[in-house]
Amino acid sequence: ILNVEQSPQSLHVQEGDSTNFTCSFPSSNFYALHWYRWETAKSPEALFVMTLNGDEKKKGRISATLNTKEGYSYLYIKGSQPEDSATYLCAFITGTASKLTFGTGTRLQVTL
């Protein structure tokens, strides 16, 4: 059983704050890591697919980094806005299984 952990479990920040959270995954047999954003009552939406050690991806105010040797990825949000409020899920894929194993998610709430 693969263990994909995310921290913190939840986070409450003020508008304009920058924040980051962590996804930890097994460092062996790595193939890819996905980040998804899931707003309440909507579909989970893919943010990033990360495959190479040292990868850095950016989409607007959101960016992510990947360290496959130590088994972690960081997601950063710069200048949080209320519309960033969502649950952020990471999902891990091994080299031998064509399926995503999701972490438990970080629930972010951004208030004015």
Partner 1 sequence: DTEVTQTPKHLVMGMTNKKSLKCEQHMGHRAMYWYKQKAKKPPELMFVYSYEKLSINESVPSRFSPECPNSSLLNLHLHALQPEDSALYLCASSQVGQGDIQYFGAGTRLSVL
> 17 or 44: whose CB is closer to partner 1?
44
- Mapped onto helix, strand or coil, the DSSP state of residue 61 is coil
Closest CB 94 distance from partner 1, rounded Å = 9
Question: Which residue from 27, 66, 68, 32 is spatially nearest to 76, judged by alpha carbons?
Answer: 66
Q: Which two tokens stand for residue 27?
A: 């460092």
* Cα–chain center distance at 65: 9
> 12 or 18: whose CB is closer to partner 1?
12
Closest CB 64 distance from partner 1, rounded Å = 14
Q: Which two tokens stand for residue 26?
A: 């097994």
> 83 or 112: whose CB is closer to partner 1?
83
Closest CB 97 distance from partner 1, rounded Å = 8
**82 φ, ψ (degrees, to nearest 5):** -55, -35
> 71 or 103: whose CB is closer to partner 1?
103
Whether the upstream peptide bond of residue 8 has omega within 30° of 0, thus cis, is yes
Q: Which residues bind partner 1 (CB under 8 A)?
A: 4, 31-32, 34, 36, 41-46, 49, 51, 89, 93, 98-105
Q: Which two tokens stand for residue 81?
A: 């806005």
Closest CB 112 distance from partner 1, rounded Å = 26
